[in-house]
Structure 1
Amino acid sequence: MILLAAGGSVALLAGAFVFQALGFAPCKLCLWQRWPHAAAILVGMVALSTRAYGLAWLGALAALSTAGIGAYHTGVERGWWQGPTSCTGAGNDLSGLSGADLLSTQIADTVIMCDEVAWAMLGLSMATWNMLFSLGLAVLWVMAARRT
C-alpha cells in the first residue's frame, strides 16, 4: 500500500514536470504543491527500506498538505479568495520593486499568475486535479498506516 501511495506521488510529480516540459510554466502555488509530493516519496522510500511502516502517517500528512494547497490554489483560480500578492492580478503591493523593476517590460513575462488557469480538463484545473488525486493518495496512506 505504501508503494502504491508513494508511487502516486511519483506519478503526479512526473506529470507536473511533463506539463512544464510542454511549456506550461508553474506558478508559485504550483511549485508549493510539488514539495509535499517529494516529501511523500521520501517517506515512502524510508518506510519501505527500513520497514518503519508507521511512517505512513507522515505520508498521509504530506498528501493532505498538497491537497490543501491544491484546494487553496483552486479557490484562487476561481476567485473565491485572494492568492499571494506576488502572483495574482489583485496584488497591489509594489513596495518591494525598485524604479528599474517598475519600468522593466521583462517582469510581466517572468511572473506566472496563480489566478489564471493554464490548463483544464473536464472544467477542472491542474490544481484541482492535484487536490482530488492527493486526497485519494491520503486515503491510501491512512490505509497503509492502519495496517501496521
Structure 2
Amino acid sequence: MAWLIELALVLLLVGGGWTLFTRGKRTDERESLTLRRVDAYIETIRRERSNRALVSMSDSELRDLLHMGARNLRIAGERKAWTLLGVAGVGTFAAIVAATQDGIRGFAIAAVVAAVVIYGLNEFLTRQMRAPLEKQGIDIERIKVE
C-alpha cells in the first residue's frame, strides 16, 4: 500500500516538472498568437471604421490598448478559474459535512446550493472581466486566445 502512495508522489513530481518546463513554450506561442490577432483586429477596425474612438487612435496606441486588454482578459480568466476551483472545493467540503450530519439528503442539498453559487459567481466574474473592454467598444472574441 505504501508503494502506491510513493508511486503517486513520483508521478505528481514528474508531471509538475514537465508542466514547468513546457510552460514557457506555450506562453510564447500564446503571446505570438495574441499579437497576430491584435494586428488583424487593427486592420479590421481601420477597414470598418465603426468605432470613432478606436479609429482616431494611432496604430501603436491601438496595439497597446488591444494587447493589454487581451492580457488583462487572460489574467482575469485565470483568476476566475482559481476562484471557482476554490469555491468548488469549499462546496464539496460543505456537502461532505452535510452528508455526515444529514445523510444523502443533506449532501444533495449542499451540492445543489454549491452548484448554484458556482454558476452565479461564474456569470458575475465573466461579465466583470468583459465589461472594461466592451465599454470601449472592443470585440472581445477577436482578441481572445483560448
The two structures share one fold, judged by TM-score above 0.5: no
Structure with the greater alpha carbon radius of gyration = 2
Q: What is the TM-score of this pair, normalised by structure 1?
A: 0.29
